[in-house]
Amino acid sequence: MKIGVVVFPGSNCDHDALHVSGLAAGQEAVPLWHESTDLQGCDAIIVPGGFSFGDYLRTGAIARFSAVMEPLRRFADAGHPVLGICNGFQILCEAGLLPGALLRNAGLRFVCRPVYLRVETTSTPFTGACERGQVLCVPVAHGEGNYYANPDVLERLEQRQQVVFRYCEADGAVTAAANPNGSLANIAGICNEGRNVVGMMPHPERASEGGLGSSDGFRIFESLLICK
Amino acid sequence: MQVSPELLAQHGISPAEYDKIRTLLGRAPNLTELGVFSVMWSEHCSYKSTRVHLKQLPTSGPRILQGPGENAGIIDVGDGWACAFKIESHNHPSYIEPFQGAATGVGGILRDIFTMGARPVAIMDSLRFGPLRTGDDPSGTTNEVTARRNHTILDGVVGGIAHYGNCFGVANLGGETVFHPCYSGNPLVNAFALGLARHDGLFYGKASGVGNPVMYVGAKTGRDGIHGATMASEEFSEASEAKRPNVQVGDPFLEKLLLEACLEAMQTGAIAGIQDMGAAGLTSSSCEMGARAGTGIDLDLDRVPQRETGMTAYEMLLSESQERMLLVAHAGREAEVTAVFQKWGLDAVCVGAVTGDGKMRVRHQGKVVAEIPNVALTDEAPRYRRPQQAPVRTLPLDPPAGLTRSHDWNAELLQLLGSPNIASKAWVYEQYDTMVRTNTLAGPGGDAGVIRIKGTQRALAMALDGNGRYCMLDPRLGAQLAVAEAARKVACTGAEPIALTNCLNFGNPEKPEVMWQLAQAIEGMGEACRALDTPVTGGNVSLYNETLGQGIFPTPVMGVVGLLDLSRQRFPLGARFRAAGRQVMLLAASAALDAKTALRELGSSEYATVIAGQVWGTPPALDLEAERALQQCLVTAHREGWLESAHQVSTGGLAVALAEGCVSRTVEAPAGTRIGVAVDLAGTEEDRVALFAESATRVLVSGEARHLQRFAALARERGLQAHVLGQTVAEGFTITRQGESLVRLELATLAQTWEQGFERQWSAQAVVA
């Protein structure tokens, strides 16, 4: 499997996504420069975290106009796996590939710490190796991760089981105290209706190796390997 | 041009210095040249008060690839890897405009690292503020207005560091956050950065090759930060707030682009030398690059990218606009450099050429507006051996009479754990990205930060340390203790300390008492560095930290880097106890002190300040030989796998160190199971001394008894003391003295007090604000 990692000016988790996709998962991983429309025959694409275009105007608002986004949209429409992590999630929302928006954290401050996530669905290319209800320990690091969607959008997300991850306690209980940013319904990650595009605020690539605190995030990458 | 005394005063140039300028030039300088001399001869750029003292520091060793004098020091860390690191202050700007002042402090130190060809992988900060609550200042000098202002400064500084470092994409591994009233008018913001490069990928700030083009890359030049270096070289007065335009505004996104573009351009082989434009911008970068290579530089200011119109040569040369670099390309290869910068959307413009005459020659609108020999600005800058005078000691040596015997040790321990300087700083560091680049093996909150070097079995540990109160009482011993503690923190991860950078924060060196403190501290630092074999690779001096004549405590801050071998143990050691039923041992330098000395040393402790509300006595004595032995034992013990945890005993003493072993966090799961401890303290010293004294050269370790036995044998062989204190336990925290209970607390109480102490003082203030 060949995994592409989109690089925007200001992406700063691109190397991390390449490292885990390539070295750790034993897959071929290539950077995809934002001005290029060539997806280099990739089987899956990761839109990594960072501060694309300095978060100017609004997170992800400028990146969505990059040349790479049009082929990426076609790639997603064709049902191929796309994962947006952190700023990547924000970009996918701005691009309309995922519903809703990510607002400023309820606490108004950047938050970086390990959190627990409950896996809500295994029917996505990025959670197939998990079990439903499984609790993963993965860090967050963002200033704007407060997920919001209109009530009807939110209801549809729930009905169609498009909520992929929720912030929870170590035992899986979804509580207000476990929510680091004020996200509606403790939402940490969602997928599109086709279930092939997933966005998540936490950083699985930072929790994929021993010594870095947790390797639970590696499940996300392992899922990709068994999805085809 | 008429050079009036007022004009010289505005430029911070003394009449004697002006005469020297005339002699060096062989004529009177014009206004532009006067401006250039003013910044290059400022204390900030020239180190004129400290150079004669700094020369005595040890700066060489087998691992040192680059000592002081470059943008950052460089050490060899094996497997073809080199590590560039440095610490720098941004104290004055952070007082005037906390957010941007701190942000550009981070930006500046990051550029110092990547201009050497190293990709920054970690930053740390040593921060000092005035109290956030009036009640935290026993002296009563902190009123509501001051407390609220301190609060604003803290909020701005932390926000600025987070803003810049997070966006740039570098892991923040913590550092220090310390509160004391002496920092109310003069907060200290010292930013440390560390980067990695291959040995064959290092670059230097040298303008070599006559005829080579000089290129300007990065952000456009504006009028911001003019005379920032001069501002940092004088005391603050009430008029200082009007100097806000002297503070630069940072753009971390631009710096991120500059980083990627510089590293990519370096790969082309077209770059001969490169230096960031920090303090004194275009001026310092060009004359320093020329001086290092023995060449001259011709600059044409008309070609400099500008974001404002109508700028004078004076303004352009003195601008401290951020995110700019000056580089020298190999002749004929300019296009390769330009192409890389264009890819990243940045300006790269030829603004001049390297010449053979050793002069900095600046043209503007067709005229030569400055022509100065580079060495006149650098090597020929004034050096002063300023008068020194030991201050008259006003603090008592012996403890106050009111220090009575009966005490509630439970309450005192909890009060200490929740006090501003000891409580968890999670509020601060959770605003920082501590893991980006996926190298963080130990983040903020422990003794030292640790990052791995991918593709090797090596990691680098780093720690910052300073103690203003110790240095106020005895600057020489205080500086030694800071070196020893920073190195000990590194050794507590299992890493071998190998080199040191420092930031010397002092008051006005024109006051003989301050100059004495400075000279003493430098001597002490040199002695400790020689004894611990951690040569100095560079650093920064920040003087004139005074507002309305009120100076800070002398506060030298040390940054030590150590090398951790992961070939036998995969992870660094941490402070936190890992399992119940393990033995707990205290490693110490020597036998107990006599009662009188012990009580005197207690006077410099956090206990004396927080609980007794007073300061007396002396800093703890330090035996540097024992310190080195202790650190070497830790490295050996970790390599052999004897230890499960190690934590140095310092602020708050043994009781606090034990509590931190139970409650501190690691990079592991958010909460994890807390391990308790049950220990019995031997010895004959007073209980309060046993619990809270900050005697140096002590480390608390835990592990299996059979392993600690071997560790103790090694330690005793090296002349150290090893005391078995007790056991780790599943529940509770108890300290006894020959069986008699001193402290008995629930783990949850300890944890809650420590975790919420900082935020409590924060929220108390937030209600007022």
For B131-163, what is each residue's pLDDT tens digit?
999 888 877 888 999 999 999 999 999 999 999
Which chain B positions have a beta carbon within 8 Å of A112's beta carbon? 166, 429-435
pLDDT band at B177 (very low <50, low <70, confident <90, very high): very high
* Residue found by looking up tokens 């600046």 in the block: B362
Residuewise pLDDT in 10s, chain A (228 residues): 899 999 999 999 999 999 999 876 678 999 999 999 999 999 999 999 999 999 999 999 999 999 999 999 999 999 999 999 999 999 999 999 999 999 999 999 999 999 999 999 999 999 999 999 999 999 999 999 999 999 999 999 999 999 999 999 999 999 999 999 999 999 999 999 999 999 999 999 999 998 898 999 999 999 998 876
- With CA atoms as reference, report the closest residue to B278 among B182, B210, B191: B191
SS3 B717: helix
Q: pTM for the full model?
A: 0.96
**Do residue A114 and residue B670 have CB atoms under 8 angstroms apart?**
yes
B44 classed as catalytic:
yes
CA-to-CA distance for B558 and A198, rounded, in angstroms?
Answer: 46
Inter-CA distances, B533 with B54, B155, B523, B632, B717, Å: 17, 38, 15, 11, 21
Average per-residue pLDDT for chain B:
93
- With CA atoms as reference, report the closest residue to B671 among A72, A221, A22, A114: A114
CA-to-CA distance for B142 and B285, rounded, in angstroms?
Answer: 42
CA-to-CA distance for B93 and B160, rounded, in angstroms?
Answer: 12
pLDDT band at B766 (very low <50, low <70, confident <90, very high): very low
CA-to-CA distance for B450 and A53, rounded, in angstroms?
Answer: 30
List of E strands, B392-448: 440-442
Give all strands of the β-sheet with B676-681 in edge-to-edge order. Answer: B645-648, B698-703, B583-588, B721-729, B676-681, B733-737, B740-745
For B62-110, what is each residue's pLDDT tens digit?
999 999 999 999 999 999 999 999 999 999 999 999 999 999 999 999 9
Q: Which of A11, A13, A110, A208 to mutate to test the interface with B (most CBs of B within 10 A)?
A: A110
For B691-721, what is each residue's pLDDT tens digit?
999 999 999 999 999 999 999 999 999 999 9
- With CA atoms as reference, report the closest residue to A192 among A132, A121, A107: A121
- With CA atoms as reference, report the closest residue to B468 among B95, B129, B56, B87: B129
pLDDT at A69: 98
**Do residue A211 and residue B452 have CB atoms under 8 angstroms apart?**
yes
**Do residue A211 and residue B454 have CB atoms under 8 angstroms apart?**
no
CA-to-CA distance for A92 and A75, rounded, in angstroms?
Answer: 13
pLDDT at B123: 98
A86 classed as catalytic:
yes
pLDDT band at B19 (very low <50, low <70, confident <90, very high): very high
Of all residues in chain B, the one with the smallest CA distance to A135 is B669
- With CA atoms as reference, report the closest residue to B465 among B555, B584, B330: B555
Residue A173: count of CB within 10 angstroms of its CB? 12
Sort strands A187-191 and A163-168 into parallel, antiparallel or unpaired. antiparallel
Reading the block at residue B557, the tokens are 């801050």
Contact A46, A5 (CB under 8 A): yes
The stretches of chain A forming alpha helices (DSSP H) are: 14-19, 69-77, 87-94, 151-159, 218-226
pLDDT at B767: 42
**Do residue A54 and residue B167 have CB atoms under 8 angstroms apart?**
yes
SS3 B329: strand
Residues 6+ apart with CB under 8 A from B506: B514, B517, B518, B521, B541, B542, B543, B545, B551, B552, B554, B555, B556
Residue type, B551: G
Residues 6+ apart with CB under 8 A from B98: B152, B153, B154, B155, B156, B157, B159, B160, B187
Exposed e or buried b per residue across B358-386, where buried means at least 16 C-beta atoms within 10 angstroms of its C-beta: bbbbbbbeeeebbbbbbbbbbebbeeeeb
- With CA atoms as reference, report the closest residue to B679 among B637, B764, B740, B626: B740
Q: Among A19, A53, A113, whose Cβ lies nearest the Cβ of B430?
A: A113
A53 shares contact with chain B (CB less than 8 Å):
yes
Inter-CA distances, A114 with A144, A202, A210, Å: 16, 9, 15
Mean pLDDT of B583-612: 93
Give the distance from residue B254's alpha carbon to the nearest chain A alpha carbon, in angstroms.
8
DSSP 8-state assignment for residue B473: H
What totals of helices (H) and strands (E) does chain A contain, helices first? 5, 11
Residue A40: count of CB within 10 angstroms of its CB? 12
Q: Chain-centre distance of CA B43, in angstroms?
A: 19
Dihedral over Cα of A194, A197, A198, A201: its sign:
negative
SS3 B187: coil
CA within 13 Å, CB half, A74 = 9
Active-site entry in A13, A86, A93, A168: A86
Phi, psi angles (nearest 5°) of residue A62: -90, -40
pLDDT at B769: 37
Is 50 exceeded by the pLDDT of residue B571?
yes
CA-to-CA distance for B219 and B249, rounded, in angstroms?
Answer: 12
Mean pLDDT of B37-65: 95
CA-to-CA distance for B566 and B458, rounded, in angstroms?
Answer: 5
Is 90 exceeded by the pLDDT of residue B219?
yes
Reading the block at residue B530, the tokens are 């020689």
pLDDT at B512: 97
pLDDT at A228: 61
Contact A51, B253 (CB under 8 A): yes
pLDDT at B404: 66
Contact A183, A144 (CB under 8 A): no
pLDDT at B620: 97
Model ipTM?
A: 0.97
Contact A92, A98 (CB under 8 A): yes
For B255-308, what is each residue's pLDDT tens digit?
999 999 999 999 999 999 999 998 778 999 999 999 999 999 999 999 999 999
| Residue predicted with more confidence, B433 or B407 | B433
For B503-529, what is each residue's pLDDT tens digit?
999 999 999 999 999 999 999 999 999
pLDDT at B247: 72
CA-to-CA distance for B537 and A46, rounded, in angstroms?
Answer: 41
Reading the block at residue B680, the tokens are 């019995």
B365: left (phi over 0), alpha (psi -120 to 50) or beta: left
Give the distance from residue A191's alpha carbon to the nearest chain B alpha carbon, in angstroms.
25
Give the distance from residue B452's alpha carbon to the nearest chain A alpha carbon, in angstroms.
9
pLDDT at A24: 64
Q: What is the DSSP string of B543-554?
A: ---EETTEEPPP
Q: What is the DSSP string of B658-689?
A: HHHHHH---SSSSS----EEEEEE-SSS-HHH
How many CB pairs lie under 8 A apart between chains A and B?
A: 104
Of all residues in chain B, the one with the smallest CA distance to A207 is B438
Contact B297, B289 (CB under 8 A): yes
Which chain B positions have a beta carbon within 8 Å of A50's beta carbon? 169
pLDDT at B663: 93
Exposed e or buried b per residue across B603-627, where buried means at least 16 C-beta atoms within 10 angstroms of its C-beta: bbbbbbbbbbebbbbbbbbbbbebb
- With CA atoms as reference, report the closest residue to B662 among B743, B735, B751: B751
pLDDT band at B768 (very low <50, low <70, confident <90, very high): very low
